[in-house]
Amino acid sequence: MDPLEPHADLVSELMSVAPDDFTARRDELVQRLRDDGAREAASEVAAIRRPSPALWAANQLGRRDPETMGELLASGQRLREAQGRMLAGEEAVELTGPAEDHRRAVIRAVDAGKEALRDAGRPATDAMLERLRETLVGASLAEGSRGSLAEGRLLAEVPAASIGFVAQPEAPRSSRVERRAREKALEADLRAKHERERTRREAEEGLKESERRRDAAFERVQTIREEREHLERAHAEALRRQAESARSLADAEATARRLADEAAAAERDVTRTEERAGGARASEETAQRDLDDARQAVERARQRMRAIDHERDT
């Protein structure tokens, strides 16, 4: 069983994502599947490449315009059945009507895809619309792609050449010679279409490789951009810390100057205090001498008084 079959809804949702958001959503889905233990499905999803605008538009048709999708698939089925009867040798098979119905359905489907691209901001080029037309033709006629187209989960463009479709068949004629000539012409057309398919596959492989390299380059750019942003944030943080350090240094220098001024003032106060203390000591010594002198004078006066009192008594 296809490992993606149980996860068809998730794949359909992934293929509906805008191409610019595809890679991120795919990686999220891969991680989700791995976490759920669906490692094989995760590997399959990881291998899905980002859809081209044409493939993306084809996958939007069933969601945006179910009626147009129904007409495309129904007309494709009728044309397949008519071609099958013709290739089986059935005579008088009518291809013109089914081919014209399918052609008109494809035109309506391309118009719907063009509108989807325009709404997504991707103006459609002629080359893009031609790839969309071929994918709608190929997927609506190839049995293995009809279901994926209907569910919006085509994983790759489907070349119209791969189904051997004759765009404008001639009306059948009864002559065996003419019938044989018609069959040979059809075989030659099929061979030519198979060759074109081979060439297209090679071109697609080249395109896928280019897209892979582009995606890898984009991822490298994203990584470098993230690293640059990280470095810019680190640089801004370093500048912030440098500014804070400069402010802290300035504050410290201002504090040091203030403390130096306070120390100088204190030293001056000490000097003045010492000077005053020295003066006080000198005054104290002078006062002590004066006191000593006064005491001596008092003692001398007492001695004279005692001498006078003694003389008077005698």
Q: Which residue has the tokens 């297209």?
A: 200
Q: What is the pLDDT of residues 9-44, one digit of tens each?
A: 888 888 888 888 889 999 999 999 999 998 898 888
Q: Which residue has the higher pLDDT, 79 or 92?
A: 79
How many Å apart are CA 191 and CA 161, to the nearest integer? 10
Q: Spell out the domain ranges in the chain.
A: 51-172
User: For residue 205, what are its two tokens?
Assistant: 């492989």
Residue 69 has pLDDT above 60, yes or no: yes
pLDDT score at 124: 85
State the average pLDDT for the chain: 82
- In the chain, the amino acid numbered 133 is R
| CA max distance for the chain | 201
- How many CA atoms within 13 Å lie on the side-chain side of 245? 6
User: From start to end of 101-198, where are the E strands?
Assistant: none
Amino acid symbol at 3? P
Query: What's the confidence (pLDDT) of residue 1?
Result: 56
**Greater confidence, 4 or 305?**
305
| Least confident segment among 27-31, 37-41, 75-79, 156-160 | 156-160
Q: Kindly indicate the confidence band of residue 2, based on its pLDDT and cuts at 50, 70 and 90.
A: low
What local confidence, expressed as pLDDT, does residue 116 receive? 92
Residue 139 confidence (pLDDT): 93
Q: Could you tell me which of 72, 82, 87, 80 has the C-alpha nearest to residue 189?
A: 87
**Mean pLDDT, to the nearest integer, of 280-297?**
85
For residues 75 and 100, is the Cβ–Cβ distance under 8 A?
no
How would you write 277-294 as a 3-class SS string?
HHHHHHHHHHHHHHHHHH
182 vs 189: CA distance, rounded Å: 10
8 Å CB contact between 112 and 61: yes
- Where residue 193 falls among pLDDT bands split at 50, 70, 90? low
Dist. CA 170–CA 181, nearest whole Å: 12
Structure confidence by residue, pLDDT tens digits, 245-260: 889 888 888 888 998 8
Q: What is the pLDDT of residue 192?
A: 60
Q: How confident is the model at residue 201 (pLDDT cuts 50, 70, 90)?
A: confident
Percent of the chain with pLDDT over 70: 87
What DSSP state is assigned to residue 124? P
pLDDT grade for 135, boundaries at 50, 70 and 90? very high
pTM: 0.51
When pLDDT is cut at 50, 70 and 90, the band that residue 243 belongs to is confident
pLDDT > 60? residue 180: no
Give the pLDDT score at 173.
37
Is residue 134 a contact partner of residue 157, using CB atoms and an 8 Å limit?
yes
As a whole number of angstroms, the distance between CA 1 and CA 20 comes to 31
pLDDT, position 60: 93
Residue 73's pLDDT band (boundaries 50, 70, 90)? very high
Listed ranges 102-111, 192-201, 287-296; the one with the highest mean pLDDT: 102-111
Average pLDDT of the segment spanning 154-170: 60
Distances (CA, A) of 302 to 291, 297, 298, 306, 313: 16, 9, 6, 6, 16
pLDDT given for residue 195 in this prediction: 66
The predicted pLDDT at position 161 comes to 54
Q: Hey, what are 214's tokens?
A: 């582009």
